[in-house]
Structure 1
């Protein structure tokens, strides 16, 4: 049976990378035509997406559905006021009809709990974006722990945000929460088999205060009342959603319960709250492992893999000891997934230290992009599928290609190339978040600079010879589309 995917949007993390990940276990993902999905700030076409779901071929046994695409036309569209609440909820009825027509189809869905702000595209919207994060925190703090200083700061922040923006934010947040609640009801009704609710970015103190905490409480309460708390997972993240559900579909189909041993670079790694997230990393880790059908073990000898979490948000990490341990596991043929939770890029000191001990492509999975849970879910999905595909003739080389993509993207591009490109663009008065007419020029620059940096930084630190191609899928520098391939032999 085949698997289908209605993605969050057309970016590689949500689409092309997921397709390549599925090939590790011999699955070809069926996806909609690209023009149905929209791109950047042009939304997809939800009505057509609903029809596409209802017309899935009979040999599709599992479908992974991003509810933001089905209800609004994608992630960025879900943060806009273009879709009203009634329309969004009506579009969810396609899943009820799908269940009626295809009772044996496994429907796995994920939906975002909207960030404590809106999308940012230019300098003004980025200014407002930061203020909205603070506005949400202060509003929540006033409800739960009011004091004069908080009230005064709230008045200052609220006064700096245009009133129409606050109105739009409240309306979008209300609609989004209604969709979240309805999604839980769809699980209870049997239309959806498993649901991941993914909390987007929060601002400072978002782990303590804000309407998003109240929304999460309401969602958990509803899941308990409906008796579906075992099929509804609520955790931080967003763009890793399709990857983790793909991993869950594989473990379910193969009857696997992968066992993971965990190691941290810092003694308080499990209790650290990463930037943009609202709970300790260890809490998210436990939720993600359960969500993919796995469990923990303290015995590395019985583990299918080690999850190595680099957590630089509290006590200083011991990079030497951490890298020594990773190298020892790799030398013992224990698969290791390195999850670097550094915000928006790899920790260059970590990668330098690790590369002194092993070739970096001896890892079995790696991720270090955007938020901690984006990295966690991406690396966890890769290691689950790597474990599931052990013994397959081409799986090892395919997984190494995926690993090289992550190293090129998260380590070399996000950690080295993009900061330099952004700095240069900003000095030239160009907005890295919307390149406009400079997009093709910057794409060419990125390709040239990443190729040069890969030769300088990555090639000496991996065993494989490789080739790759890169572009910017959206007219901004934030995410590249990289496809790598192994050229067939290790360096001698």
Structure 2
């Protein structure tokens, strides 16, 4: 199967990981030529991307397209207002042209329902990120609940937040909302086969609630509820939609909860996690069945979900060693039965629980774990792991083991331990962690801090510590590019033939 893939942006989680899993499932993936998609704060060449899509469509069975990349030139750019709605709508028309010329092609689309704050591009914008995030919650309470106290606090924040920052926030939301409605219409018109609307970082109370209500009505009135999915997430959509195109029949999956909190609301999300689990599974045709060959173990937080990389004054984890041992033995029991075991580690947000992995490694080789995920938000982790479930249906081969090892190195060990250590070092030297200037020095620190935790690597991987490299793709510490030799290295940077 040949699929044209337009990723959300160039981060490893949105660019490399989806392609790694798709190739594992034996699909051929066509990517934009190098240089068209830009990094971080720069906008991609959207005109060139449009031309590229039209050129490759005739040779593809399917297209998986990020609206943010196609219309705005990236996720961060979608939160800005440099180009108006009319021009965005014109760019969206390329999908209709492609479908008219190639009626057999299947188009899968993802679009983001904007987060409840702005982008954090440096230390200064972090201040406004916090204030607008708070403003969003208060604004919702004022408008939806006639909360007088919330209204008063909103007025005070409006005096603190620069008018241009707040105006950009609401104008960008308005454009984004109109594009989401237009995308739903494309499904109703038969142009797009399936659409994922991903609710970006938010909270149970926020301005996104008003937009969700409108979109839900559109979906119902247009009769497209089986083809439009709306849930928390964002960065995982590319991986999911590629697997949706490759494996539309889905699979069966048993869910085993590790921990008692089945109804917790994850940090940066606006609904109970089990609702997102049900939504993502349904969108991928994954059917819950007790006794299924594949088993998803969900490690839930014992109390409130906390940031993995933040200092913890008390125990490293709320779970006792005895509890983690019990969870580990439960996974081992299923593995001994020949079941395919995947661990969704949601104890923390933005990183995993290395203590859990250390315990698991005492009862079974970590290479016998078919998948692991613990990065960013709960739904980001969930979507990536569900995509891996589908991609590894044929076996836990070398590529799948390498992908799992990369997730452990990145999601758990980098995010929980290495990230904070490197942060402390570069901040002491005057660096801004959201806008790093000395990349080579920071990458040297990354290497050194991974060496510091080498005893933990030995505990988790035993004698099979993978050879790996860690780099900065974007000049910030929020994510890194971790790739093993067995996994084949990064996808980004590969030589890609231009269209004829």
Q: When the two structures are superposed, what TM-score results if normalisation uses the length of structure 1?
A: 0.92
Matched, 1:225 2:221: yes
- Other-structure match for 1:286: 278
Deviation for aligned residue 1:485? 3.2
* Greater Cα shift, 212-221 or 154-163: 154-163
Deviation for aligned residue 1:453? 4.5
How many residue pairs end up in the alignment? 470
Matched, 1:307 2:307: no
1:52-131 correspondence to structure 2 within 5 Å: 52-56=52-56, 58-131=58-131
- Other-structure match for 1:459: 458
Deviation for aligned residue 1:155? 2.6
* Greater Cα shift, 174-183 or 18-27: 18-27
1:379-394 correspondence to structure 2 within 5 Å: 379-387=385-393, 389-390=394-395
Question: Matched residues in 2 for 1:134 and 1:161: separation?
Answer: 11
Asked if the contact 1:264–1:322 (Cα under 8 Å) also holds between the matched residues in 2, the reply is no
1:235-274 correspondence to structure 2 within 5 Å: 235-252=231-248, 256-269=249-262, 271-274=263-266
Question: Matched residues in 2 for 1:304 and 1:227: separation?
Answer: 34
Deviation for aligned residue 1:435? 0.3
Question: Highest relative contact order (Cα 8 Å, sep 6+), 1 or 2?
Answer: 2
Deviation for aligned residue 1:17? 1.9
Give 5+ residue unaligned stretches, structure 1.
488-492
Task: Assess, with a 3 A threshold, how the Cα gap between structure 1 residues 375 and 453 changes in structure 2: closer, same or farther.
Answer: farther
1:171-186 correspondence to structure 2 within 5 Å: 171-186=171-186
Question: Matched residues in 2 for 1:149 and 1:6: separation?
Answer: 45
Question: Matched residues in 1 for 2:295 and 2:155: separation?
Answer: 48
Provide, for residues 213-254 of structure 1, a one-character-per-residue CA deviation record: whole Å limited to 9, x for no partner. Answer: 1111111110111111100000111110100111211222xx
Deviation for aligned residue 1:82? 1.6
Provide, for residues 64-83 of structure 1, a one-character-per-residue CA deviation record: whole Å limited to 9, x for no partner. Answer: 00000001001111111122
Question: Matched residues in 1 for 2:358 and 2:257: separation?
Answer: 17
* Greater Cα shift, 326-335 or 459-468: 459-468
Matched, 1:442 2:442: yes
Question: Matched residues in 1 for 2:154 and 2:339: separation?
Answer: 51
Matched, 1:327 2:332: yes
Task: Assess, with a 3 A threshold, how the Cα gap between structure 1 residues 244 and 454 changes in structure 2: closer, same or farther.
Answer: farther
Task: Assess, with a 3 A threshold, how the Cα gap between structure 1 residues 447 and 83 changes in structure 2: closer, same or farther.
Answer: farther
Task: Assess, with a 3 A threshold, how the Cα gap between structure 1 residues 358 and 67 changes in structure 2: closer, same or farther.
Answer: same
Question: Matched residues in 2 for 1:106 and 1:377: separation?
Answer: 21
- Other-structure match for 2:312: none
- Other-structure match for 1:490: none
Cα RMSD between the aligned structures? 1.8
- Other-structure match for 2:134: 134
Deviation for aligned residue 1:399? 0.4
Asked if the contact 1:272–1:313 (Cα under 8 Å) also holds between the matched residues in 2, the reply is no
Asked if the contact 2:457–2:465 (Cα under 8 Å) also holds between the matched residues in 1, the reply is no
Question: Matched residues in 2 for 1:39 and 1:145: separation?
Answer: 41
- Other-structure match for 1:357: 363
Question: Matched residues in 1 for 2:34 and 2:302: separation?
Answer: 39
Task: Assess, with a 3 A threshold, how the Cα gap between structure 1 residues 400 and 73 changes in structure 2: closer, same or farther.
Answer: same
Question: Matched residues in 2 for 1:278 and 1:353: separation?
Answer: 32
Question: Matched residues in 2 for 1:453 and 1:469: separation?
Answer: 15
Give 5+ residue unaligned stretches, structure 2.
305-317, 488-500
Deviation for aligned residue 1:175? 0.5
Question: Matched residues in 2 for 1:408 and 1:168: separation?
Answer: 38
- Other-structure match for 2:211: 215
- Other-structure match for 2:374: 368
